Chains A and B, each alone.
Chain A
């Protein structure tokens, strides 16, 4: 997995590429914690290059969403495709994270 964050004003774009699963989720947790601690108002999670996600990876994104919502922040997820989209649809997250 590779990930990067791009900050602009109060907003952040978090790009996650490759595989977000039980093995790689711990790598991105500190970045998620930092985004919450900094109270970023608007976060877009770009999953256009995410190849595979499992329930551990989903847990990371849901955690970001819930923690940001608690202080009034907004998290949107964009360009989910293929296997990650199948998981998001099953868990109805496409409705939660949609535009």
Chain B
């Protein structure tokens, strides 16, 4: 397992994303699409925690990455307000929304998403290599 603990501030966003992007390359048979989609989902999840989670900027977020033979699982742990993105309605894409797309991006790009509210809240996301966008 790969584990990183970062301050819950946007300034650390790029560092966290680079870590996840690098981890994606370690999954066998994962192509560029795999990495692009995992990074996109993680990016939105991190935004939810840091911007919308209501946690103090001094609080930490914990990132765990499990690498499997054909998959990658990300766990994002935070101590802010709980927010189960699985309850969010998908956006009306025909209306060209300017916000409210984060949960849709996560749910679309990852193959399995679960959420456990608590201390910390834990968002788990798994993507299987070679499965592609459904």
**A-side interface residues toward B, CB under 8 Å?**
19, 21-23, 52, 54-56, 58-59, 62-63, 65-66, 82-83, 85-87, 90-92, 96
A62 touches which of B14, B44, B98 (Cβ 8 Å): B98
Sample (27) of A-B pairs whose CB atoms are under 8 Å apart: A22-B10, A22-B47, A23-B10, A23-B11, A52-B17, A54-B102, A55-B47, A55-B99, A55-B105, A58-B98, A59-B97, A59-B98, A59-B99, A66-B96, A82-B36, A83-B40, A85-B36, A86-B33, A86-B37, A87-B40, A87-B105, A90-B40, A90-B104, A90-B109, A91-B93, A91-B105, A96-B96
Distance of A81 Cα from B119 Cα, bound (Å): 39
Query: Are B47 and A86 within 8 A (Cβ)?
Result: no
Distance of A87 Cα from B102 Cα, bound (Å): 11
B47 touches which of A56, A62, A63, A96 (Cβ 8 Å): A56
> Which residues of the partner chain B approach A52 to less than 8 Å between Cβ atoms?
17, 39, 43
Query: Are A22 and B105 within 8 A (Cβ)?
Result: no
Beyond the given A66-B98, A90-B109, please list 7 additional residue pairs across the A-B interface where CB-CB is below 8 A: A22-B47, A55-B101, A55-B102, A62-B97, A82-B32, A86-B109, A91-B105
**B-side interface residues toward A, CB under 8 Å?**
10-11, 13-14, 17, 32-33, 35-37, 39-40, 43-44, 47, 50-51, 93, 96-102, 104-105, 108-109, 133
Known: A23-B13, A55-B101, A86-B33. A62 touches B43 (CB 8 A): no
The 7 closest A-B pairs by CB, nearest first: A59-B98, A55-B101, A86-B36, A83-B36, A23-B10, A54-B43, A55-B102
Distance of A82 Cα from B104 Cα, bound (Å): 19
Distance of A65 Cα from B32 Cα, bound (Å): 28
> Which residues of the partner chain B approach A56 to less than 8 Å between Cβ atoms?
47, 99
Q: Which residue of A lies closest to B93 (CB)?
A: A92
Distance of A71 Cα from B32 Cα, bound (Å): 39
Q: Which residue of A lies closest to B37 (CB)?
A: A86
Distance of A56 Cα from B48 Cα, bound (Å): 11
Distance of A52 Cα from B13 Cα, bound (Å): 12
Query: Are A55 and B44 within 8 A (Cβ)?
Result: yes
